[in-house]
Amino acid sequence: MSAHIVDLNTEVALKSAVFRDLPRDQVLPLIRDAKQREVERGSTIFYQGETAHSLFIILDGWVKLYRLSPCGVEAVVSVLSREDAFGEASAMPGEVYSTGAEAVADSHIMQIDAQSLWSAIKENPQLCHALLGASVSRNRALVDQLEQLKSHTGAQRIADFLLGLCKTEHGACTVVLPYDKGLIASWLGLKPETLSRAFKRLQPYGVSISKNRATIKSVERLIRFAEEDPSSSRKDAPLKSSSFTQS
């Protein structure tokens, strides 16, 4: 009961997916040893292919994980924020990072040294189980993304993205785009131009964008669109010049 007063950053780290199911007193020593870093927008946290030296937890800000293809094209694999962990590969000695990591906003991150992590794992098997859980759930996220890419159109992926930002499950909703459109495009596997046009295609379904704010007239309708079979794009739905509050 002595050191139950911990700073706010530690509090955030304790809530991360990796640590939240573990008893506090097992995690605290690990966190105390960890470095806390301020990284500014645009700076690289690690490179793809580098030996995995640390596990990271985001205390505040935004970080993208991306992949560079041999010809230099970038594909964003994840966009993470507060309480998310990344660099789980560091739990396996000798492993390398399969993606690069870069701050896309000024961020505050916690960096846990791989050696400390390994010794903590050795003393405390539950930690390994927690990491496994984190890895399994990242897995699911990747599979979700694969499904999106393989079976949905760009416009549907945007719809899904907006719905993910939405708190309610019915009625109307206004959401703020959490980062710039270029990054959203890359995350959804589109070019900025295509994203821009795809946003327009959502208008007939009651979505309008202005600046970084999206207004959804009916969440149900958008869900219906997002889940629709792309091949059933017969002209029934779009209804072009009609009925809508166009300016």
Partner DNA sequence: CGGGCCCTTGACGTTAGTCAAAGAGCGTGG
Partner DNA sequence: CCACGCTCTTTGACTAACGTCAAGGGCCCG
Give me the residues that bind DNA (CB under 7 A), please: 153-155, 180-182, 189-200, 209, 211-212, 230-231, 233, 235
Q: In sequence order, what DSSP letters do the residues of 121-183 get, joined into one string?
A: HHH-HHHHHHHHHHHHHHHHHHHHHHHHHHHS-HHHHHHHHHHHH-S-SSS-EEEE-SS-HHH
Distance between CA atoms of 198 and 202, rounded to whole angstroms? 7
Among DNA, its own copies, none, what binds residue 233 when CB lies within 5 to 8 Å by partner kind? DNA
Q: Name the residue nearer to DNA (CB basis): 48 or 153.
A: 153
Q: Name the residue nearer to its own copies (CB basis): 13 or 91.
A: 91
Give the shortest CB-8-to-its own copies separation in angstroms. 29
Among its own copies, DNA, none, what binds residue 7 when CB lies within 5 to 8 Å by partner kind? none
Residues that bind its own copies (CB under 8 A): 67, 69-75, 77, 88-89, 91-92, 95, 98-99, 121, 125, 128-129, 131-133, 135-136, 138-140, 142-147, 149-152, 189, 227-230, 232
Among DNA, its own copies, none, what binds residue 140 when CB lies within 5 to 8 Å by partner kind? its own copies
Q: Name the residue nearer to its own copies (CB basis): 92 or 239.
A: 92
Give the shortest CB-226-to-its own copies separation in angstroms. 8
Distance between CA atoms of 2 and 48, rounded to whole angstroms? 41
| Strand segments (E) across 25-158 | 35-39, 44-46, 54-60, 62-68, 74-81, 85-86, 100-103, 107-113
Among its own copies, DNA, none, what binds residue 11 when CB lies within 5 to 8 Å by partner kind? none
Residue 68 DSSP SS3: strand
Torsion-angle region of residue 125: left (phi > 0), alpha (psi -120 to 50) or beta?
Answer: alpha
Rg (CA), the chain: 21
Distance between CA atoms of 28 and 112, rounded to whole angstroms? 12
Among DNA, its own copies, none, what binds residue 1 when CB lies within 5 to 8 Å by partner kind? none
Give the shortest CB-238-to-its own copies separation in angstroms. 17
